Structure 1
Amino acid sequence: MKTAWAAASAALILALLAGCGSSAERGEASLEGPEEAVALYKQSCISCHGTDLKGRMGPASDLHDVGARLSEPEITRQIEQGGASMPAFGERLTADEIRVLSGWLSGLGKSE
């Protein structure tokens, strides 16, 4: 009986440890950019735009190359006013927070 208990305990521990690991090992992309911008993104944007910036709400929510499609003022306006299925964040985020996000996002997808 003790052997069965030990085997079951070992299996449980291994199963729990299998869930550990880095975000990259779990298939999550790490976001790169200014710390403040990434923190704001995680707080306000990640639920619709995803951990990999590719969007969870269809092609329009894909941000991985948004800077190649929209200028910084256009991104700012989109964040402030929303549009299509995106809600407005003009009253949820400060002007400085929107500036930080739009500055970072406008650099995504631009050729260097």
Structure 2
Amino acid sequence: MKRNPLIPFLLIAILGIGLTFFLSMKGLKDEEKIASGGKEQKQEETANATPEELYKQNCISCHGENYEGGAGPALKGVGDKLEVADIKKKIQEGGNGMPGGLIPNEKLDEMAEWVSKIK
């Protein structure tokens, strides 16, 4: 019994087309989630986050686990050197290597107050 040599290629082509179709349908379902970058969920998490949680998410890599500094300056005692309004402005605008806008505007006052109390 002779086998047709085109059958494996035909099966591969059918599977390839089917897989492409399936993945494109999956992509259409995830399109809004991908386009928003998952911001909806992140906004909810940020709205409920404490300043310490925000610090762990955004600041710890530069200012250190124990606020000792690293790529960024140490935060221990910064409240003795700067007013809360100045800390807030620095967090909001950044500068000298620090990116601005890491903390949402609705959390700036709370975060600046928290940073000013780090000892």
1:81 to 2:101 alignment: no
**What aligned pairs does 1:1-112 form with structure 2 within 5 A after superposition?**
36-57=50-71, 61-89=73-101, 92-109=102-119
TM-score (norm 1): 0.58
CA distance in 1, matches of 2:108, 2:53: 12
State percent identity of aligned pairs. 34
Partner of 2:30: none
RMSD between aligned residues? 1.6
* AA at the equivalent of 2:83: S
Q: Can you list the C-alpha shifts for 1:14-65, whole angstroms capped at 9, x where unaligned?
A: xxxxxxxxxxxxxxxxxxxxx711101101110100101011126xx11011
Greater per-residue helix proportion: 2
* AA at the equivalent of 2:70: R
- The 3-state SS of whatever aligns with 1:54 is coil
Q: Which runs of 5+ in 2 are unaligned?
A: 1-48
- The 3-state SS of whatever aligns with 1:83 is coil
Assess if the C-alpha contact under 8 Å between 1:40 and 1:97 holds in 2.
no
TM-score (norm 2): 0.55
The higher-RCO structure (CA 8 Å, 6+ apart) is 1
